[in-house]
A and B are shown apart, each in its own frame.
Chain A
Amino acid sequence: DGGITQSPKYLFRKEGQNVTLSCEQNLNHDAMYWYRQDPGQGLRLIYYSQIVNDFQKGDIAEGYSVSREKKESFPLTVTSAQKNPTAFYLCASSAPGQGAGNTIYFGEGSWLTVV
């Protein structure tokens, strides 16, 4: 089945460690996104990529890094520079184009807790 797969679902990190969240999609979508969600908050954009080998900072990119070496994959690294990384992370993808039928599809999310 086509979809977006995020892993791991739950991750614990010690302070000072970098961690990488995986996001893979087989929807043949060009655009991919990483969002962060905190309790009582909406989704905030961390990074997005519209095409392979290109990505742009979102609203809260500090302390995060990404890569887009393959169309299917858009991993997010939470670095030690991110001061408050405990959150729910959602990966998403969408197809480009001008038609009104485009929507954005989400993965199941990854819960990151700093211990």
Chain B
Amino acid sequence: EDKVVQSPLSLVVHEGDTVTLNCSYEVTNFRSLLWYKQEKKAPTFLFMLTSSGIEKKSGRLSSILDKKELFSILNITATQTGDSAVYLCAVRKNYGGSQGNLIFGKGTKLSVKP
């Protein structure tokens, strides 16, 4: 059975801290891994990763994929209160899979204290 597991499920840090969010997966027909940030409503897209070892970076956020270990991390440096959100990891299967083509983890709830 396909699964995506995120850890930790919740995390409380102080502004300025650096955090690492984890995502492991066991999915057949892997196509890509996506990270989303969800504050109150719709998830907003952060990164899509398809190749191992290539870091994607956007400001204070960065992410990398290890396809051998079936693992991805999302790093946030110098955290701010605006980073408080649920961070979702999802794995996209190749098109035409019988279960639809996106499998989500349960998310990591990040709370950044001033």
Contacts and interface: CB of A to CB of B under 8 A. Distances in A.
A90 B50 contact: no
A100 interface: yes
Given A56-B98, A90-B42, A96-B95, A104 B34 contact: yes
B50 A109 contact: no
A104 B95 contact: no
B41 interface: yes
A45 B99 contact: yes
B53 interface: no
Interface residues on A, range: 20 to 34
Contact of B34 (A35, A45, A56, A103): A103
Interface of A: 31, 33, 35, 40-45, 48, 50, 56, 58-59, 90, 96, 98, 100-101, 103-109
26 contacts: A33-B102, A40-B9, A40-B106, A41-B107, A42-B4, A42-B6, A42-B105, A44-B104, A45-B100, A45-B102, A48-B101, A50-B95, A50-B96, A58-B99, A58-B100, A59-B99, A90-B43, A96-B95, A100-B32, A103-B34, A103-B45, A103-B48, A104-B92, A105-B45, A106-B42, A106-B44
Interface of B: 4, 6, 9, 32, 34, 41-45, 48, 50, 88, 90, 92, 95-96, 98-102, 104-107
